[in-house]
Amino acid sequence: MSDFEGLKALVTGGASGIGRATAELLAARGAEVAVLDLDPSSVDKPLLAHRADVTDDASVRAALSAAVTDLGGLDVLINNAGIGAQGTVEDNDDEQWWRVLDVNVLGMVRTTRAALPHLRESAHAAIVNTCSIAATAGLPQRALYSASKGAVLSLTLAMAADHVREGIRVNCVNPGTVDTPWVARLLDAAPDPAAERAALQARQPAGRLVTAAEVAGAIAYLASPLSGSTTGTALAVDGGMQGL
């Protein structure tokens, strides 16, 4: 498929996991792709790499501007950078709350703010936010993370409404548990990694973890001109967690 031929895309958190799979898929389908990440050292050609911290507005603006210059424009923004948190409301202090909200919610606001003037110039402008099934399902031990992704879902809907008349579509994907380096770190830290993996698999009716490639495929659909009439939606990629 070459449905991204001629399109320019930027993927935040594109050095690892879902972001990396998405950047590689968009490039394979013809896009020119830049990755914006805290640590882009592992990113190879044909992907372009820019270092930035989404919690730092000046760093986001500088990296986004450099990426747009390299790409020669911007059609697609994938707001994917995010971090996790475990626990109930009693387990995370204010500092942890502000930190996760800063990365997961304000991070998307900063990149979107910097990207909008460029997206307005595109005939195929699309933003896809990586949300989570945690935004719509009550998951135990994920109070802070779920609140951050709930905000991402609402932000997606509000942005879709604000920019629909400008021809900019905004959607999000809601993955279940995805087999990425993030989940590998979570399992490594668990007292019994095999039992933890089994519990995560059991949470999804399909009985297995989602793959990064499956989430990338959903993001690519929402980013591509093929979904030109789709805006303000959340696409679940969760092995049936939400619907079954």
Q: Which stretches of the chain bind ligand NAI, using CB under 6 A? A: 13, 15-19, 37-39, 52-55, 80-83, 103, 130, 132, 175, 177-178, 180-183
What is the closest distance, in whole angstroms, from the C-beta atom of residue 137 to ligand NAI in the complex? 11
The closest of 93, 111, 77, 81 to 7, measured between CA atoms, is 77
Between 123 and 194, name the residue whose CB sits nearer to ligand NAI. Answer: 194
Distance (Å) of CA 46 to CA 189, 194, 210: 34, 37, 26
Smallest separation, CB 123 to ligand NAI (Å): 28
Known catalytic residues are 145
Give strand pairing partners of 18: none
Nearer CB in complex with ligand NAI: 182/221: 182
* Residue among 63 and 116 whose Cβ is closer to ligand NAI: 63
Cβ proximity of 52 and 14 under 8 Å: no
Neighbours of 196 (CB within 10 A): 16
User: Can you tell me the distance from the alpha carbon of 142 to that of 120, in angstroms, rounded to the nearest whole number?
Assistant: 36
**Most distant CA atoms of the chain, gap in Å:** 51
Q: Residues 92, 144: contact at Cβ < 8 Å?
A: yes
The H-or-E segment that residue 23 falls in is helix 17-28
Minimum distance from residue 224 beta carbon to ligand NAI (Å): 19
For the CB of residue 9, give the shortest distance to ligand NAI in the complex, in Å. 16
DSSP assignments along 69-118, one per residue: HHHTS-SEEEE-------B-TTTS-HHHHHHHHIIIIIHHHHHHHHHHHH
Nearer to ligand NAI, 28 or 38 (CB): 38
As measured in angstroms, the least distance from the Cβ of 177 to ligand NAI is 4
Q: Enumerate helices (H) and strands (E) in the chain, giving the number of each.
A: 8, 7
CB nearer ligand NAI, residue 18 or residue 71? 18
